[in-house]
Amino acid sequence: MEILRHEGPGRLGRVRLGDYSFRTPALAGVDFTLSPFNSFFHPKEPGEYDFNLAPSIPLGFYTPDEVIQKALGRLWSVKHEDFNAFYLPALRRTEYLEEFFKIIERYNFDAVYLGNSKILIKEYRYFVRILRELRERFPNIMIIADLEPFFYPLAVYLGVDAFDTRSLKLYDFEGKGFTQFSPFLWSNEPNSLDFAREVILLVRKALEEGKLRYLVENFFPTQYNAGILRIADLEHPDYLEKYTPIQKETVYFISDASIRRPEVKRWHKRVLERFTPPKNVEILLLFPCSAKKPYSFSRSHTLYRRAVKEALGSGTSKVHELILTSPFGVVPREWEWLAKYDIVVTGHWGEEEIKPAAELLAKTLEKYPEDIPIIAHLDEAYVEIAKLASELSGREIIFTDVKNGTTSHESLRSLTETLREFQIEGTKEDRTYRYFENIRKVFDFYFGIGAGEAVLPENGQVKGSKMLRIFVEGQQTGTFTDGVISVTPYGMQRIYDAVKSYWVKIDFELRGDVFAVGVEEADPRIRPDDIVGIVRDEKVVGVGKAVLSGEEMVKARKGVAVKVRKRA
């Protein structure tokens, strides 16, 4: 199986079977054929089925140890070479998974049929865990499950590639027809296979457009859907995040589950690990977010900046700003281009929003020197967040007197008067430094601390107006346009030398795209759609866009790992 596109562990893939190929997610009986369950006989005609299930023992979910051990002994005696699909019984005793995995690994199957799926869907933790272990260990194996169509979006999001449709005929036999509204509301006409086909096409479309998570949060919310997604978000956020492409479009937070999206976890981690305050900061300001993005284009932030300029004049080049928001928590001013999101604003904040934002703010405040005054111009729940952060960090925060909202004349006057108590002056050098820092911090977000300095050091140059071209010693290192960046091979070489990040190592002459089979090593920080450097003998020989995560590139043996954009 070749992976074409990711959204979380879910993937749009291509499976090649000789001259025939099909795309996943897929349906048995529609996109491919699957031999009868647990068949001990070869098909009468060669090639009758695309996937032939190897003989197996259909163990139940609660099977006792002695039966499992006896079954494993018999499975090793099966002549698996004649089959390309393996039946993996999901068991409560997960310690036996490793023994089944050894069989899969030894015989290099093309597909795994996940047994006991309909029981497993009720065992939230086991469902997520087994899919995770399968997906991480065997990136090129197609996972097949037997589930109702209202589980397809969630199952695909967590790693399932295809679905057996034979059991759906039971619904037709009972005269039940699926509807798009709820798994508990049935139509009068049998329609199981037609409905399964409609849902899988919808899932495919969502994957193609990067909208699968929205579908998961909106499609047939049963207690099982909600429970499994919650376990995945809270107990396996790293599993979801490492396969989630880097955010490029606005994310809409449409439900309580949205605030646990992988993009939020990634943002919090990068604020902690990849943000450092500018060196010339003498005052830190805390502002609330705005509905319009980026914040600087909003009416409220225009008024805030006008008040700051009136109070400090040239000293504004020594002021740094953090914006408080849900669910991203903290957005440094330099990263406002990257905080592309929209959320329902009602004025009511839940504990799941307030506490993480306060904890993130507290850890961010600790990055600033202790003698720097912190001034908060906030209202409503933002005040609660700042006060809790002050307690957690031990840093004193000065609150302006806000009345009738942060943009009222009285509130803005209070902001100006509070700032006037601090006399600071900025120089031309300060302004230049902060202009460069606005660009550097974005490169740090994508590649890690030090990348911005590598691409744009003190002796660097910035040319242009809308699209900024960055040069070092006459050679272009990259471009910057409203937070959107590109990097040249020369720029990526400087990043590689400085911070050793986002590299893919090969040992052959680069002529086209890099396939997974040719990857020697890859930075595990790489996510799908990241800009990466292709390195050979410590030299960057090209720059491209990652198709797979870094970990996946090393384990996979099929498909494109990096689409090359520029060669050195």
The CATH code of the domain that includes 137 is 3.20.20.105
Locate 126 and state its tokens: 């086991």
Is residue 83 a part of any domain in this protein?
Answer: yes
Candidates 478, 459, 456; CA nearest to 467 is 478
Of 179, 211, 243, the one marking the end of a domain is 243
475-481 sheet: strands from edge to edge = 461-463, 468-472, 475-481, 484-487
Query: Which amino acid, 369?
Result: P
Alpha helices in 210-314 (DSSP H): 212-218, 223-235, 237-242, 262-274, 299-312
Task: Answer whether 489's CB lies under 8 Å from 473's CB.
Answer: no
Q: Which of the listed residues 243, 276, 304 is the one where a domain comes to its end?
A: 243
Whether 42 shows a pLDDT value over 60: the answer reads: no
Q: Which of 264, 267, 190 is nearest to 233 (CA)?
A: 264
Instruction: Indicate whether 322 and 299 sit together in one domain.
Output: yes
Averaged over 515-539, what is the pLDDT? 97
395 with 528, same domain? no
Quote the mean pLDDT of the chain: 93
pLDDT band at 247 (very low <50, low <70, confident <90, very high): confident
Closest listed residue to residue 437, CA positions, set 270, 276, 278, 275: 278
161 and 227 together in one domain: yes
Domain that holds residue 457: 439-492
Identify whether residues 92 and 223 lie together within a single domain.
yes
Domain annotation covers residue 250: no
pLDDT in tens, 251-266: 998 888 899 999 999 9
Q: What tens digit of pLDDT does each residue of 312-370 get?
A: 999 999 999 999 998 999 999 999 999 999 887 666 677 888 999 999 999 999 999 99
Rg of the chain in Å (alpha carbons): 27
CB 506 within 8 A of CB 537: no
The yes-or-no verdict on residue 482 having pLDDT over 60 is yes
**What are the pLDDT digits (tens) for 192-242?**
999 999 999 999 999 999 999 999 998 867 889 999 999 999 999 999 999
Q: Domain containing 477 — which CATH number?
A: 3.10.450.90
Residue-by-residue DSSP string for 382-396: HHHHHHHHHHHHT--
Shared domain for 467 and 543, answered yes or no, is no
Same domain, 389 and 346: yes
Residue 507: give its domain's CATH number.
2.30.130.10
Shared-domain flag, residues 193 and 319: no
> pTM value?
0.93
Q: Are strands 111-115 and 85-89 parallel, antiparallel or unpaired?
A: parallel
Report how far apart, in Å, the C-alpha atoms of 87 and of each of 39, 65, 157, 158 are.
11, 19, 21, 19
516 and 538 co-located in one domain? yes
In this structure, are 91 and 221 located in the same domain?
yes
> Is residue 428 domain-resident?
no
- Whether residues 128 and 176 share a domain: the answer is yes
Residue 252 is assigned to a structural domain of this protein: no
Check if the beta carbon of residue 56 is closer than 8 Å to that of residue 116.
no
Q: Of 210, 243, 276, which one is at a domain's C-terminal end?
A: 243
Domain-located, residue 425: no
- Report whether pLDDT(144) > 90: yes
Give the confidence band of 47 by pLDDT, cuts at 50, 70, 90. Answer: low
Dump strand ranges (E) for 129-288: 142-145, 162-163, 251-253, 283-288
Please give the helix or strand (H or E) that residue 316 lies within, else none. Answer: none
Q: Give the least confident one: 38-42, 476-480, 495-499.
A: 38-42
Higher-scoring residue by pLDDT: 348, 89: 89
Per the structure, how many domains does the chain have?
4
> Which are the contacts of 133, defined by CB distance < 8 A and separation ≥ 6?
97, 101
- 115 and 192 in a single domain? The answer is yes
Domain membership of residue 75 (yes or no) is yes
The predicted pLDDT at position 492 comes to 98
In a domain, 432, yes or no: no
Q: How confident is the model at residue 48 (pLDDT cuts 50, 70, 90)?
A: confident
Average pLDDT of 468-493? 97
